[in-house]
A and B are shown apart, each in its own frame.
Chain A
Amino acid sequence: MEILEEKKNKNIGYKPILEGIPEWPVYQLSKNRKEFLEEVTQKTIEQIRILRPSRKQLLEELETTVFREQNRIKRNRWRVDPKDDAKFWMRVKNDLIELANKPAEEASKKEDELLYEIVHRYAKEISGTFKPRSYKFAREVIKFWFRRLLNGARVKKFGAIFRSQYTLQDKIHIVGKVKMLRRLAKKGTVVMVPTHFSNLDSILIGWVIHSLGLPAFIYGAGLNLFNISIFAYFMNSLGAYKVDRRKKNLPYLETLKMYSNLAIQKGAHSLFFPGGTRSRSGQLEKQLKLGLLSTAIEAQRNLYLESDAPDTRKIFVVPVTLNYHFVLEAPDLIEDYLQVKGQDRYFAEEDNYGSFQLIKFMFKFFTKGSNISVSIGPGLDVMGNFVDDEGNSLDSSGRVINTREYFMTNGVVTVDKQRENEYTRMLSSRIVSEYHRINRVFASHLVAFIAFEMWLRRYPRLDLFGFLRLPEEELEIPYDEFREVFKKVRKEIYRLEENGRVHYASHLKGDADLVIRRGLENVGIFHLKRPLLRNRQGNIITQDLNVLYYYHNRLLGYDLEKCIG
């Protein structure tokens, strides 16, 4: 089996932009952790009071929170949850009940105390603890083991595992606006927003940040990842803060947003997956979660509010896409997706992996695994305008514009939540369209897309679910026919690239037969059932239509369908 080679990577290594760890904003943040948490708590409480101005509303909110938390504890407990969770919420509940019998003044004092306790508890739970020593340690461990694994697998001699011939840089290609990102990280505060396809993204992106010589970012990682102790160890030491998607109550969400908001304001480079969760369908994120995104806008507005200086620190949003030939969790993700989308029309077949298989997959993924590419997008200001290397925002004709003016009414910076909600929506759709632009088309994506669409067209009467239930044996495309369509669609990709609407990996060019072969060999390379392969007659067949659908989805949104007969 041939492993795809990209052009030799130019990114040989970058010097750190800040020399010592003590200068990193994230370190400053964790050094003053106690004060920072206190500030988050106070400001969150202020915010909650604005949203729930009356005593009665606040009380109701607290009651709802307790109710939901107790429900969560009953239904959905995780290993990472604090030991005293049940006890704490039981006590809060009792305190709330007692409030009813107390005189108004005493009750309102107690209410304040409870609110403080809850918010502070959340703030502590969310916050990461960045420790320079364990950061360095984790970084070295990751680097060391990746290198060993890579060498062990590439060079097929046992001794190779002790050599350091190959490094991660051969494996992971970082392309795009790397220099700009490094400059912007010096000029202002970077908020990196990558696409999210796999749980490995969190680790991968941590490595990318380090290898670009950037100081550690704080980053929002799903609390579920912290259930796995080895992940938890690394993430904690890489500066991650925790996002618990089970908790949808107002005090929690406000605390989370305030945490991100203040950290960004204090200049900590920050990273979160704006899609909120891994893409279930395999499609590039179409809709983003607006909550955390809005904190970038709020932070910028606050910075402008606090200072009139023309060089007020700017926040730069940097979209990033992660491109894989193979997503470990693809079969499960697409299953999830189809179940939610199809509800009763779709019957999931049981298909579980043993943990041995999982480990085997992991091993393969890191060793033989086909290349991964990470595309760094251009820097945007919080309104989604492109910025130049100096961090100036530009309009479409290249004129420098002042981002502050977006927040001004009658000549002064004003706070207008409704306006900022709208701005968040605009920023979100800008990020989505940047994702599509910087996305790198791999041969494997393209063959998956084409095969699926060709088959789909043969059954115009079936809806998606009917189609997916077809027996795989029925599906076969004569190679020559496939090849013709492939060339047509590839041409369209070239055209899109010329118009700046997408990128493609260098391996996509060249002899069509070769590129198709590479695509087929790499698409979902390590799944038990291959989404695409050739049979003895050389025709295209599939072993798993659902997984093929997953990889196909990556190229939705480019109107490529119209090129297929």
Chain B
Amino acid sequence: MTSKSASDKPVGVVGAGHFGTVIANILAKHRDVLLYARDEKSVEKMLETRENKGHKLSRSIQPTSDLAGLAAQCDVIFPIVPSAHFREMMKKLAPHLHPYHILIHGTKGFDLKLPKGQTIETVETLNRKEVLTMSEVIREESVVVRVGCLAGPNLSAELSQRQPSATVVASPFQEVIQTGKRLLRNNRFQVYENTDLVGVEMAGVLKNIIAIASGCLSGLGYGENAKGLLISRGAVEMVYLGRILGGNTKAFLGVAGIGDLVATCNSPNSRNFTVGYRLAKGESLAAILDDMQEVAEGVNTVRIVKKCADYYKARPLITDTLYKVLFEGMAVQDALDYLMRYPLNVEIDFV
């Protein structure tokens, strides 16, 4: 492990959810970290207990609710807030950012830019210009150009126990990749490089769809064969969708794609998985979302991707069916039967 040098500027993490806190702890092995939370009370609580959401805070972490101060002190910032609040957060952060800043986000979701008065429920179709990845939001809202993302099989709970894992830092800029690598890497956390930023973001987002489906299968009580089937077909669907939305195939085959997919599809810890699981047990979507503390990105992703696929006249089978389950009241068992009866023959047509 590299030692900290005192002269280095601290690194910022914006968003003190599970993942944000865990990443702050990883960063704290190399540098001082400023951890931003919107809510002053939770900052006070962190200061008092040195704990957040069940994760102990490293001594090098300083919680703060001062966004301007964070931007002034840190050249490198990791925004990790849910996609629904991402743009809002960027609007607040942007006035304090300069072109020398490096932003590496860890959010796996889409942002929507809809015509006035429209919402995701009312809009009929979406095209790619209206669906933005987080890096695109950063570029749109701020002057920062050196943007990257991290994605991979990174379940907060396991990272927090220092179990072995890996992530991908993706950016068109080598400078960003190398910075991310230097800051994140340790002997329990491997960091891979990728230059296809949008591809890696897509992989991270799209896998949430399959994770919900995987939860459904578990909820119905099926075993590993079914899961194997889902994961492999799910990966194919991700590539298919990714190509429509502008990532290349390679990103989906790496840790951010297959790696993250397998992890999330097997983990009861995953929020997306849980949504699927409880749906299969017969609960309603509204009820499930009601008592979840953090956001399950996948639910929104299904809705966005379905409408986007409609626009491009694509037919992503799993996503379409899941859409029916989530928003049109189809029973999980019926959805599965439908999928099993669907005539498909070509297995892989993209390599």
A residues lining the B interface (CB < 8 Å): 383, 385, 395-397, 399, 401-403, 405-406, 408-411, 416, 418-419, 422-423, 426
Contacts and interface: CB of A to CB of B under 8 A. Distances in A.
B98 A405 contact: yes
A418 B175 contact: yes
Nearest to B139: A426
Interface residues of B, number: 17
B75 interface: yes
A419 B175 contact: yes
A421 to B, nearest CB: 9
B173 interface: yes
Contacts of B99: 383, 401-403, 405-406, 408
A401 to B, nearest CB: 5
A410 B75 contact: yes
Given A418-B174, A419-B174, A419-B175, A408 B100 contact: yes
B145 A416 contact: no
Interface in B181-207: none
A50 to B, nearest CB: 17
Q: Which 9 A-B pairs have the closest CB atoms?
A: A405-B99, A405-B100, A406-B99, A408-B100, A395-B143, A418-B174, A405-B98, A422-B172, A401-B143
Contacts of A403: 99
B95 interface: yes
A426 B145 contact: yes
Contacts of B95: 397, 399
Nearest to A422: B172
B196 to A, nearest CB: 13
Contacts, number: 43
Contact of A406 (B75, B94, B142, B145): B145
Overall SS of chain B's interface: loop
Contacts of B145: 383, 406, 423, 426
A99 to B, nearest CB: 36
Contacts of A399: 95
B337 to A, nearest CB: 38
A405 B142 CA distance: 14
Interface string B114-142: 00000000000000000000000000111
16 contacts: A383-B99, A395-B94, A396-B141, A397-B95, A401-B99, A401-B143, A402-B98, A402-B99, A403-B99, A405-B98, A406-B100, A408-B100, A409-B100, A419-B146, A419-B175, A422-B173
Q: Which of B100, B140, B146, B173 lies at the interface centre, i.e. has the most chain A CB atoms within 10 A of its CB?
A: B100
A385 B139 CA distance: 12
B35 to A, nearest CB: 22
Contacts of B141: 396
Interface in B136-190: 140-143, 145-146, 172-175
A411 B75 CA distance: 9
Given A405-B98, A405-B99, A410-B75, A416 B175 contact: yes
A498 B298 CA distance: 37
Interface string B61-101: 00000000000000100000000000000000011001110
Contacts of A409: 100, 175
Contacts of B94: 395, 397
A403 B98 CA distance: 10
Interface string B219-250: 00000000000000000000000000000000
Given A385-B143, A399-B95, A409-B175, 12 more contacts: A383-B99, A402-B98, A405-B98, A406-B100, A406-B145, A408-B100, A409-B100, A410-B9, A418-B174, A419-B173, A419-B175, A422-B172
A395 B138 CA distance: 13
Nearest to A408: B100
Contacts of B142: 395
Interface string B1-40: 0000000010000000000000000000000000000000
Nearest to B98: A405
A317 to B, nearest CB: 16
Contacts of A416: 174-175
Contacts of B146: 419
A418 B100 contact: no
A52 to B, nearest CB: 21
A208 B209 CA distance: 57
A406 B99 CA distance: 5
A401 B174 contact: no
Nearest to A384: B145
Contacts of A397: 94-95
Nearest to B7: A410
A401 B175 contact: no
Contacts of A396: 140-141
A418 B75 CA distance: 20
B173 A418 contact: yes
Contacts of B143: 385, 395, 401
Contacts of A410: 9, 75
A495 B253 CA distance: 43
Q: Which of B94, B140, B143, B174 lies at the interface centre, i.e. has the most chain A CB atoms within 10 A of its CB?
A: B143
